[in-house]
Structure 1
């Protein structure tokens, strides 16, 4: 019988922590939090300015917040080939 009160998931918490909150895959990421219509307009603006064919631009993640605003992350290559 174990005499300490540690649980198996405690080891995960004590384990190595990531050094960077974002992957280092060469993509540039920008996160926005805007009202729904403004979020749509901003995403369209970025997709027009940095076309998918050249920059691999995409909405990487999005969610609706409790207040109705949209938080989204755009991902693209920093330069076109």
Structure 2
């Protein structure tokens, strides 16, 4: 009897060096944060408000903009004290 294999989900690469992961709402996102999209970490270059206060348009360098509508995991660079 054969056993059906499930496709292996590729592991997410480690977070960018010097960042801390946290789930943040769209209005808590900052320029300079990283998000994981399309199998890579993208740094937010600019952001704009969308139709409501709970939505943001994230603009990346070299990638299409993304409308963020729900809380998502972001990676914020650690600040020096």
Q: What TM bracket, shorter-length normalisation?
A: 0.3 to 0.5
Higher share in strand: 2
Structure having the higher Rg: 1
Higher share in helix: 1
* TM-score of the superposed pair, with normalisation by structure 1: 0.34
* TM-score of the superposed pair, with normalisation by structure 2: 0.34
